[in-house]
Structure 1
Amino acid sequence: MIAAQRPMVQSLLDGVARIGADPPGITREAYGRGENEAMALLAGAAQALDLDCSFDAGANLTMRWPGTDPEAPPILVGSHLDSVVQGGNFDGAAGVIAGLAAVAALQASGVRPRAGIEVLALRCEEAVWFGLGLIGSRSLLARLPAGALALPHARSGLTLGQSIAACGGDPARLANGVPLRDPKTLGAYLEVHIEQAPQLIEAEQAVAICLANPGNVRHPRIRISGEDAHTGLPHRFRRDAALAGAEFALALERLWLEEDRAGRPMAVTIGRFHTLADRHAMTVVPGQFELSLDLRAYDPTHLARLEARLQAIAAEVGAARDVTIALGERSAAAPGAMEAGIVAGLARAAGKLGLAAPRLNSPGSHDANNFAAAGVPTGMLLVRNANGSHNPHEAMATDDLLAATGVLALFLAEHAA
C-alpha cells in the first residue's frame, strides 16, 4: 500500500517546492506566505483523508485521525514546513508528508488504530527567522525561553508574538507557561527527516534509525570590541577586533578537534563572521567585529562543559588581544536521545521490510529534541539525502522517502493498535 501513495507524496513534494520557489533554492518563510501556503496545501490533503484539522495557540497545524479508544494516548508524527533562505525542498517538509502518506497507507490497508494518530506541521523550526529554533514544538510544550515572544522576525520585523497572532495563534496563551498538550498524555512522538550528513550515502542505505540528536547553545550576535586605528600602527599597539575574531574561531576549532580525538562528538559552526559593513575599510584596523556561534553536543553534561570552555576561550583571547568579547544573547536546545523501545520497534519494522536501516546519530537538532526533553517517548527515521541540507541542492529520492514511510506505517500499525 505504500507504493500506491507515491502519486500523493510526489504531488505534495512538488507543491511545496512551487510554493517556496526562490531560485536557486527554496524559501518558505516562517509565519509568512511560504509556511502558511504549505500548511494550507497539506491541510487540504489531510481533509481528503478525512482527518480533523486544527490550529493551536502556537499556530501549529494538527491533522488528526481519531482512534477507536478516545482514552488511548495519541501517537504524534511531525516535522516542520519552513526553510532557511534559499535552502532545499525536503528539510522538514518531507517528514510531514511522510506522516500523511503513512496514514493514507494504513487507511488503504483497512487499519483502524485504537490510539489516535496526529500528523503535526510545526511552526518555525529554523533559527534563521528569530535567532531561535524549534519554535513550534517549544510553543506546544511550554519550552519558549523568557522574552522569546518579543524577538523580531528577520524579514517582517514583527515580534514572535505578533507573528503568531497574525497566523491565528494566541501568544497570550503561550505566555502563561502551560503546555498546550500535556506531555504525560502523549503516547509517542515520531519524526522523519532527511539526513544532514552523507552517512546513508556512504552506507548505501535508504533509511536509518536515529539514536540521538545534539543539543545546542547558540549566540547569534557575538561582539568583539577593540579600537579603530591606522593601518601603519605597530602590532604592539593594536587592539584588532578582526584578528581577535580569527583567533577566537581557530581556538574553537582546536577545541572541536580535541574532542573528536577523544571520541566525544560535537560541532562548532560560525555562520556570521564579519567586520561592520558601515565602518570597515582597507586602511582601518577594525575596532569592531561580529560573529555567530552554534555549539552542539549529544550529552547535556558534555554540552555544559563545552560552554564553560567557550567562556574561558573568550576570556583568554580577549586578554591576549586587549579586546572585549561579549557573547551576547544566548539560546539553547536540550539534547534529544531517542527512546530505546521506539528504536527497537522501528528496527523490527525495518527488518520486516528488508531494510538494513543502520542506527546513527543525527548531526542536527530537531523538534524531536523538545519532545524527548519533555519526557515524551520519541523516535526518528533518517532518509538518505545527498549534498546535506540548508542548501539548494538537497537530493532526496522519493523512493527513499517511501521506504521510510513504510517503516513508519508498519510501526504505527503495531503501536497504535
Structure 2
Amino acid sequence: MNTAAWRRQAEALLTEVADATRDGPGITRESYGPGEDAALQVLERHAAALGLACEYDGARNLWMRLHEDTRPGPVIVIGSHVDSVPQGGNYDGLAGVVAGMLVLAALRGRHEGSAPLRVLALRGEESAWYGRAYMGSMALLGRLPAAALRLPHRAGGGTLGDAMARCGADVEAIAQGTPLLPEPVAAYLELHIEQGPVMVARGWPVAAVTGIRGNVRHNRVRCIGETGHSGAVPRWLRKDAVLAVSQLLSRMDEHWRVLLQMGMDLVMTSGICTTPAQSHAVSVIPGEVQFSFEARSQDAATLERFHQLMQAECSAIAADRGVRFEFDERLTTAPATMDEGWIQRFEAVAARAGQTLERIPSGAGHDAAVFAAAGIPAAMLFVRNAHGSHNPQEAMDIDDFLLGVQWLAEGLVEPPHAG
C-alpha cells in the first residue's frame, strides 16, 4: 500500500471511530462499555474492507489477520487499546490499532518468511472507569486478579465483572486466571502517541520507547477527622481532615523534590481530592477527605521507598492531628523494559532513510508493559502529539503517524540486529 492509500484509509478510520464515540467536546469509549463496543464494530467493518479476518478472544479483545495467513504461531502482534478516558482524545490507543491494520494489509505477500502477523485491539486499558488499568491485556494473559472483577464502576451501575459478562467475556476463566491467548506470541509491538511534550519540544516525529514507568497507587484513601463548628472549636482541639491531607501532600511533594535531586526517576499525583458533598458548608470543619495517591517510576525500589514514606507520614500526621487514614487495596504495576533487539531494528530502518530514531522513556503506562512482564519481547514507537493526551486537544499530525507506520512495517521485514 502506498502512502496516499495509507492516508485515506487512516483518516477515514480515525474519523469514523471519532464520530461513533463523540461525547461533547471529546470522545468517550468506556472500558467494556458502549463506546468501546462501537469502536470495535467500526474496526471490524474496515478490517473486512482490507481483506482481514476478525475474531474475539475470551476477554473480548479483537484479533485481526490476513485471511490467507493461517500459519500457526508463535505470532508477532501489533496492538494497542481502543478505550478512552471520559471526554478524552481520539488518538490515545486507537492510532496504534489503525497502524497495525495498515501494516498488516501492506505486508500482504511480503511477510511469509517470518512469524505470522496479527493485529490486536485491546479492551480496558484505561484506569479511569474501574480504578485499574490493563484489564483486557491482563485478562488475556491470565494475570487479572479475581478481585478486580468486583471493582465498582466509577459512576455505579455494576462491577467490572458485570461489564465483561455483558460484552460476552468468559468471566469464569478470567477469574480462574486461565490464559486466553488464541496463539503463542513471539513479540508484541505497539505504536502510540506520546502523551507528554518532549517530542514536540525536540522536534522528533517518531521515537523508540526504552521503558515504561511502573506505578503504585491507591484509588481511595480516607482521612477521617471530626466535623465541628468553624467558630467554636479552637485549633488545638480540631481534627481537620482537609488540613491533614494538605499537610500530607505538602510533605510528599518535598520528599519528591529531594528524591529528584538524588537522581531518582519519580512522579507523584493526587488526582482526586474531595470532601463529602452532603456536609459541605462554609461554617463546618471538614471531618473527612477522600483522595487518590499515585507514584510512578522506572525503578521498582524507588516506588517502594516512596510508598513507605507516604505510610510513615500518614502515621505521623494522624498522631499529630488526631485523624486516621484508611487505605483501599494497594495496586502495583512493575516497570517494564522494552526489547533492545526490536529497538535496534527500528533504528536501522531510520538509518537507511538517512534519519535518526531517538530514544525516549514512557512516563505513561501501556499494554506493552503487561506483555513484557509476562516475558514476551515488547517494543514501542511513539509518534509526536501536541497538547498532551487524555483531553480533546490531542493533535497527532497524520504525516508523523504515517512515518511511524512506515518504520513499523519496515522493522518487521528488517533482519534481527546481529549485535
TM over 0.5, shorter chain? yes
User: Which amino acid in the other structure matches residue 60 of structure 1?
Assistant: N
Cα displacement string for residues 73-98 of structure 1 (whole angstroms, at most 9, x for unaligned residues): 21011111111111111111111111
Pair 1:104–1:355, CA change in 2 (3 A) = farther
State the secondary structure of the residue aligned to 1:361: strand
Shift of 1:144: 1.0
User: Which amino acid in the other structure matches residue 193 of structure 1?
Assistant: H
Report what 2:241 is aligned to: 241
Shift of 1:113: 5.0
Out of 110-119 and 281-290, give the one that drifted further. Answer: 110-119
Cα displacement string for residues 284-328 of structure 1 (whole angstroms, at most 9, x for unaligned residues): 111101111121111222222222222112212222222111222
Cα displacement string for residues 145-182 of structure 1 (whole angstroms, at most 9, x for unaligned residues): 24111112224622212211211211011112121129
Cα displacement string for residues 6-37 of structure 1 (whole angstroms, at most 9, x for unaligned residues): 10001111111111211211111122221111
Cα displacement string for residues 178-230 of structure 1 (whole angstroms, at most 9, x for unaligned residues): 211299x3110011111111110011010110001111112111100011111
User: Which amino acid in the other structure matches residue 190 of structure 2?
Assistant: E
After superposition, where does 1:187-202 map in structure 2 within 5 Å? 187-202=186-201
Equivalent-residue separation in structure 1 for 2:326 and 2:351 (angstroms): 51
User: Which amino acid in the other structure matches residue 145 of structure 1?
Assistant: P
Provide the identity percentage: 43
Report what 2:18 is aligned to: 17
User: Which amino acid in the other structure matches residue 207 of structure 1?
Assistant: V
After superposition, where does 1:38-187 map in structure 2 within 5 Å? 38-65=39-66, 70-107=71-108, 110-155=110-155, 157-181=157-181, 185-187=184-186
User: Which amino acid in the other structure matches residue 298 of structure 2?
Assistant: Y
Q: CA contact under 8 A between 1:198 and 1:388: conserved in structure 2?
A: yes
State the secondary structure of the residue aligned to 1:344: helix
- State the superposition RMSD in angstroms: 1.9
TM-score normalised to the size of structure 1?
A: 0.95
Out of 171-180 and 239-248, give the one that drifted further. Answer: 171-180
Shift of 1:69: 8.2
Equivalent-residue separation in structure 2 for 1:363 and 1:111 (angstroms): 33
Pair 1:156–1:317, CA change in 2 (3 A) = closer
Report what 1:262 is aligned to: 262
Shift of 1:415: 5.9
User: Which amino acid in the other structure matches residue 44 of structure 1?
Assistant: R
Equivalent-residue separation in structure 2 for 1:86 and 1:243 (angstroms): 32
Q: CA contact under 8 A between 2:79 and 2:121: conserved in structure 1?
A: yes
Equivalent-residue separation in structure 2 for 1:47 and 1:112 (angstroms): 21
The yes-or-no answer on 1:213 pairing with 2:183 is no
Pair 1:409–1:225, CA change in 2 (3 A) = same
Equivalent-residue separation in structure 1 for 2:182 and 2:8 (angstroms): 36
Equivalent-residue separation in structure 1 for 2:303 and 2:20 (angstroms): 38
After superposition, where does 1:31-42 map in structure 2 within 5 Å? 31-42=32-43
Shift of 1:354: 3.5
Out of 280-289 and 39-48, give the one that drifted further. Answer: 39-48
Equivalent-residue separation in structure 1 for 2:4 and 2:155 (angstroms): 40
The yes-or-no answer on 1:353 pairing with 2:343 is no
Pair 1:41–1:69, CA change in 2 (3 A) = closer
State the secondary structure of the residue aligned to 2:125: coil
Out of 62-71 and 321-330, give the one that drifted further. Answer: 62-71
User: Which amino acid in the other structure matches residue 199 of structure 2?
Assistant: L
Shift of 1:141: 1.0
Shift of 1:381: 0.6
Equivalent-residue separation in structure 2 for 1:58 and 1:71 (angstroms): 21
Report what 1:222 is aligned to: 221
Shift of 1:283: 0.3
Out of 197-206 and 320-329, give the one that drifted further. Answer: 320-329
State the secondary structure of the residue aligned to 2:13: helix
Shift of 1:355: 3.5
Report what 1:310 is aligned to: 310
User: Which amino acid in the other structure matches residue 173 of structure 2?
Assistant: R
Shift of 1:66: 7.0
Equivalent-residue separation in structure 1 for 2:53 and 2:156 (angstroms): 31
Q: CA contact under 8 A between 1:142 and 1:178: conserved in structure 2?
A: yes
Q: CA contact under 8 A between 1:214 and 1:362: conserved in structure 2?
A: yes
State the secondary structure of the residue aligned to 1:291: strand
Q: CA contact under 8 A between 1:267 and 1:296: conserved in structure 2?
A: yes
Out of 207-216 and 247-256, give the one that drifted further. Answer: 247-256
The yes-or-no answer on 1:286 pairing with 2:286 is yes
User: Which amino acid in the other structure matches residue 262 of structure 2?
Assistant: A
State the secondary structure of the residue aligned to 1:278: helix
User: Which amino acid in the other structure matches residue 13 of structure 2?
Assistant: L
Equivalent-residue separation in structure 1 for 2:383 and 2:344 (angstroms): 18
Pair 1:112–1:383, CA change in 2 (3 A) = same
Cα displacement string for residues 262-287 of structure 1 (whole angstroms, at most 9, x for unaligned residues): 22111111111111111121001111
List runs of 5+ in structure 2 lacking aligned partners: none
Out of 371-380 and 185-194, give the one that drifted further. Answer: 185-194
List runs of 5+ in structure 1 lacking aligned partners: none
Equivalent-residue separation in structure 2 for 1:236 and 1:28 (angstroms): 49
